[in-house]
Amino acid sequence: MMDIEHIKADLALRVQNLMASRRKANSTIPLKTWKDKVADANNLVKKVYETLYEVLQTNGIEFSSNKELDGLISMLEPSVNDIIIKNIED
């Protein structure tokens, strides 16, 4: 049985750690342009979904079809969006 709350918490923690590493690495970079910020946001979204797949693998969650996976992603999407908004840099 899949525990959605556990997956959300694990994903949020991993993304927070990822963002802390990114902030540390980017601390010496001068101000970014709007284009750079958009590219960073797109990269963050990609990283969050990659991290979600890692969380699913770590928890041994497998799907019998893409439809099942899509259903889970739809269910998690509001949480993923919240995670992205909380971690995106202004």
pLDDT given at position 26: 66
Q: How far apart are CA 3 and CA 33, in angstroms?
A: 40
DSSP 32: P
DSSP 29: S
Q: How far apart are CA 67 and CA 85, in angstroms?
A: 26
Q: How far apart are CA 11 and CA 2, in angstroms?
A: 14
Taking the chain (90 residues) in consecutive chunks of 10 residues, what is each chunk's mean pLDDT?
Answer: 78 85 71 77 85 87 85 83 72
Give me the helix-helix angle, 4-26 and 66-87, nearest 10°: 40
